[in-house]
Amino acid sequence: MKDNPRVRGRLDSLDESDYHFTCPIVKGEILYGIGRLPAGKRRQDLEQRAHKLFADVQCDPIPENVSDTYAQIKVAVQQQGTSLGECDLWIAATALALDAILVASDSDYQRIIGLGLRFENWEI
């Protein structure tokens, strides 16, 4: 959503065989953030960007087995004495369960790389 040229370049360089998607939790987080904004140009610009993003990137349903991975991650994170937001836990669990690479700029995900999460920040 930040309109970062590096991220756009990475997306544009993906092959057709590089399956990329988002999940309903990410889509919901984006729409929630936009919905909280007051009416105006910034909100309108973000709504347009989100519409384009969701037209370009498929939103796949979350498989049932993600719930098992979510529970394992949440227990492990609590045992480490750290925490992650609920949405971040579900997003990470989705990536882990699907053996997908999680692409995000949120460094909080690095706390669970030791659990097998493959994480990339395309902004750097």
Residue 101: its pLDDT value, please?
A: 94
Distance CA 19, CA 16 (A): 7
Residue 66: its pLDDT value, please?
A: 97
Task: Indicate the average pLDDT of the chain.
Answer: 93
Q: What's the mean pLDDT in 7-29?
A: 92
* Closest CA relative to residue 20, chosen from 29, 4, 8, 32: 8
Confidence class of residue 3 from pLDDT cuts 50, 70 and 90? confident
pLDDT, one tens digit per residue, over 74-108 is: 999 999 898 889 999 999 999 999 999 999 999 88
Pick 5-120's CATH classification: 3.40.50.720, 3.40.1480.10, 3.40.50.1010, 3.40.50.300.
Answer: 3.40.50.1010
